[in-house]
């Protein structure tokens, strides 16, 4: 996974790739902890800076908006009820349905973000950082899309060898379903061994995730055009991708590359005494008090952020209607072309890698998930519990 919203994305990718190849270095756990502390803080501060800038472009009055940290989607969805403009029958219906039964709309789904409200409590914008588990799931989908053709090609090669032994053309080879499944499993094992040996390399381009940090701006179509123009004119800001989504989910998605203010962000780390927020991650307070600059090393000067431009009716549809976000996540999980062991193991490995960086452990002596193997989620959870000095399982007896 190549997380373009992180300033140590290259270093993190190298650690992850080594772990995929089962090559653990003694300093990995400590460095992971440092990276997640530094990059999370830098991304969070830069996200909020850009969101405030964009809100101010539309609402320049000094007291036009206030930021409110949010931990659950219900906080965001409740803010939809304070909209001040005219409502279409469809929007009124969705808001009324939500008011009658808010629990039906995943209101306790976690989110790590900030929403920006106007004077009347109406939602103007929101920003969020993906949770580690969602990043791991996305890594699964990316690797699955990339690997499917590679594994399929290897499976066809095995079938071709079998056809040759039987003396028939491959096009005339009749294969029972159970034998096809077995051949595909053999192909997976061959490919996984090639990854581990270095014969096949992980491609950062296919494993890049741009939306670890995201902003959603709400406005009229005219206001959203102003936002896009403001981003284009902002100093050192560059729109690198633009996608117009239409259908069940309507929005304009931008990937924006922006520099982060090194001096100011380092100053805020001190002002907010950030070491008090991350003091349970194995690094001493004395070490963390040395400042953010002490963790930076070869940090990149810019990051990429997703900016979503949406009208209020489309926002309501995406939060309460046919394109509700949580249902789209479930659909994405289910609608993968390739659901083999390798993508799932990479998801587990990425989740475990993050868990190490969030745990009190700054040393690990082994990688418990291997690229070629079969694991249940319970196996992953038991290893994560060990990182927090908990018994691997809760047992009745």
User: pLDDT averaged over consecutive 10-residue blocks of the chain (397 residues)?
Assistant: 95 94 94 98 98 91 82 97 92 96 94 94 96 89 79 74 73 66 77 84 87 97 95 92 90 97 98 96 97 96 98 95 81 66 88 96 95 91 96 89
In angstroms, what CA-CA distances link 5 with 121, 184, 198, 257, 264? Answer: 30, 35, 27, 9, 18
Instruction: Name the one residue in this structure whose structure tokens are 């922006």.
Output: 258
pLDDT value, residue 241:
96
pLDDT value, residue 152:
74
Q: Domain-by-domain residue ranges, the chain?
A: 135-202
Question: Is 50:254 a contact under the CB 8 Å cutoff?
Answer: no
Q: Where are the alpha helices (DSSP H) in the chain?
A: 9-20, 28-58, 73-79, 89-100, 132-166, 177-197, 221-233, 262-271, 285-288, 293-296, 312-320, 325-334, 341-358, 377-387
pLDDT value, residue 47:
97
Beta bridge partners of 395: none
pLDDT value, residue 167:
76
- Going by C-alpha positions, the residue among 264, 393, 392, 349 that lies closest to residue 32 is 349
Q: Where are the alpha helices (DSSP H) in 21-131?
A: 28-58, 73-79, 89-100
pLDDT value, residue 62:
62
CA dist., res. 364 & res. 353, Å (int) = 11
pLDDT value, residue 177:
66
pLDDT value, residue 176:
67
Question: Is 197:287 a contact under the CB 8 Å cutoff?
Answer: no
pLDDT value, residue 206:
81
pLDDT value, residue 334:
65
pLDDT value, residue 5:
98
Question: Is 184:149 a contact under the CB 8 Å cutoff?
Answer: no
pTM score: 0.90
């Amino acid at each position: 996974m190549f997380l373009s919203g992180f300033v140590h994305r290259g270093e993190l990718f190298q650690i992850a790739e080594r772990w995929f190849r089962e090559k653990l270095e003694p300093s990995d756990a400590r460095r992971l902890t440092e990276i997640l502390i530094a990059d999370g803080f830098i991304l969070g501060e830069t996200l909020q800076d850009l969101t405030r800038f964009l809100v101010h472009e539309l609402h320049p009055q000094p007291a036009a908006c206030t930021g409110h940290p949010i931990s659950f989607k219900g906080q965001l969805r409740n803010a939809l009820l304070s909209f001040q403009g005219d409502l279409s029958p469809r929007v009124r219906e969705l808001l009324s349905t939500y008011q009658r039964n808010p629990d039906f709309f995943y209101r306790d789904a976690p989110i790590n973000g900030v929403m920006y409200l106007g004077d009347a409590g109406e939602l103007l914008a929101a920003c969020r950082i993906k949770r580690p588990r969602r990043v791991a799931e996305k890594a699964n989908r990316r690797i699955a899309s990339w690997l499917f053709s590679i594994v399929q090609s290897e499976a066809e090669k095995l079938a071709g060898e079998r056809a040759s032994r039987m003396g028939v053309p491959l096009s005339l080879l009749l294969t029972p379903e159970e034998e096809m499944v077995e051949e595909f499993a053999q192909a997976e094992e061959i490919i996984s061994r090639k990854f581990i040996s270095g014969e096949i390399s992980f491609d950062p381009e296919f494993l890049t995730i741009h939306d670890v940090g995201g902003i959603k701006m709400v406005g009229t179509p005219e206001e959203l055009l102003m936002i896009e123009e403001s981003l284009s004119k902002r100093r050192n800001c560059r729109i690198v991708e633009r996608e117009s989504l239409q259908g069940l989910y309507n929005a304009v998605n931008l990937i924006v590359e922006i520099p982060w203010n090194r001096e100011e962000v380092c100053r805020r780390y001190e002002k907010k005494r950030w070491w008090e927020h991350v003091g349970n991650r194995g690094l001493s307070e004395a070490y963390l008090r040395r400042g953010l600059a002490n963790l930076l090393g070869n940090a990149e000067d810019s990051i990429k952020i997703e900016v979503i431009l949406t009208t209020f009716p489309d926002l309501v549809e995406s939060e309460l209607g046919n394109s509700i976000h949580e249902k789209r996540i479930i659909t994405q999980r289910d609608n993968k072309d390739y659901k083999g062991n390798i993508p799932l193991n990479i998801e587990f490995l990425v989740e475990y890698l993050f868990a190490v960086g969030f745990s009190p452990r700054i040393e690990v002596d082994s990688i418990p998930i291997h690229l070629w193997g079969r694991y249940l989620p319970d196996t992953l959870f038991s290893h994560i519990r060990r990182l927090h000095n908990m018994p691997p399982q809760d047992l009745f007896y």
